[in-house]
A and B are shown apart, each in its own frame.
Chain A
Amino acid sequence: QPQQRGISSFFGRQ
């Protein structure tokens, strides 16, 4: 089953 990723793992924290 594909796992849900968090959005912050793609976009860097500012």
Chain B
Amino acid sequence: VVARSEHDEL
């Protein structure tokens, strides 16, 4: 599990 920054949330 890695931290990601996809920003698919609001």
Chain A bound to chain B: no
